[in-house]
Amino acid sequence: MIKKRMGAGLTVAVSIALFAGGCGGSGSTGDGDKSSGGSKSLEVFSWWTSGSESEALQVLQSAFTTAAPGVTFNNAAVSGGGGSNARTVLATRLQGGNPPDSWQLHPDQDLMSAVEDGSVADISDLYTSNGWDTKLPDTVKAMLQKDGKYYAVPVNAHRANVLWTNPAVLKRAGVELTDTSTPADFVADLPKLKAAGVAPVCLGAKDSFAPAQLLEAFILGGVGVDGWTQLLTGKLSFDDAKVRTAVTQFAETLKYVNVDSAVLTWDQAALQVTDGKCAATLMGDWAFGEYLAKGKKDGTDFSHVIFPGTAGLFDYVGDAFAIPAKNAPNADAEKIWLTQLLKPEVQAQFNLKKGSAPVLAGVSLDGYPDYQKDSAAAFQKLPVVSSLAHAQGAPAEFANTYVDAVTSFLGSKNVDGLLKTMTEAQKTQLNS
Question: Site residues (CB under 6 A) for ligand GAL?
Answer: 47-48, 53, 81-83, 158, 266, 286, 317, 319, 390
Inter-residue contact 168 to 279 (CB < 8 Å)? no
Residue 390 CB, nearest approach to ligand GAL (Å): 5
Q: How far apart are CA 227 and CA 135, in angstroms?
A: 30
Q: Which is nearer to ligand GAL, 170 or 322 (CB)?
A: 322
Residue 388 CB, nearest approach to ligand GAL (Å): 12
Q: Which is nearer to ligand GAL, 82 or 221 (CB)?
A: 82
Q: Which is nearer to ligand GAL, 143 or 187 (CB)?
A: 143
Residue 167 CB, nearest approach to ligand GAL (Å): 24
Q: Classify residue 9 as exposed, middle or buried by CB count within 10 Å of its CB (0-12, 13-18, 19+).
A: exposed
At 378, phi and psi to the nearest 5?
A: -65, -40
- What burial letters (b/e) apply to 100-123, b meaning 16+ CB within 10 Å? bbbbbbbbbbbbbbbbebebbbeb
Q: How far apart are CA 173 and CA 369, in angstroms?
A: 27
Residue 105 CB, nearest approach to ligand GAL (Å): 9
Query: Which residues is 386 bridged to in the sheet?
Result: 316
- In 344-414, alpha helices (H): 344-354, 370-381, 396-412
Q: Pick from 63, 19, 54: which is nearest to 39 by CA? A: 19
Q: Which is nearer to ligand GAL, 82 or 227 (CB)?
A: 82
Give the Å distances, CA to CA, from 152 to 130, 178, 338. 14, 37, 9
Residue 316 CB, nearest approach to ligand GAL (Å): 10
Q: Which is nearer to ligand GAL, 175 or 346 (CB)?
A: 346
Q: Which is nearer to ligand GAL, 4 or 158 (CB)?
A: 158
Q: Which is nearer to ligand GAL, 93 or 390 (CB)?
A: 390
Q: Nearest residue by C-beta to ligand GAL?
A: 81
Residue 266 CB, nearest approach to ligand GAL (Å): 6
Helix, strand, or coil (residue 61) = helix
Query: Which residues is 146 bridged to in the sheet?
Result: 149
Helix, strand, or coil (residue 358) = coil
At 322, phi and psi to the nearest 5?
A: -120, 165
Residue 387 CB, nearest approach to ligand GAL (Å): 8
* DSSP 8-state symbol, 261: G
Residue 51 CB, nearest approach to ligand GAL (Å): 12
Q: Which is nearer to ligand GAL, 245 or 372 (CB)?
A: 372
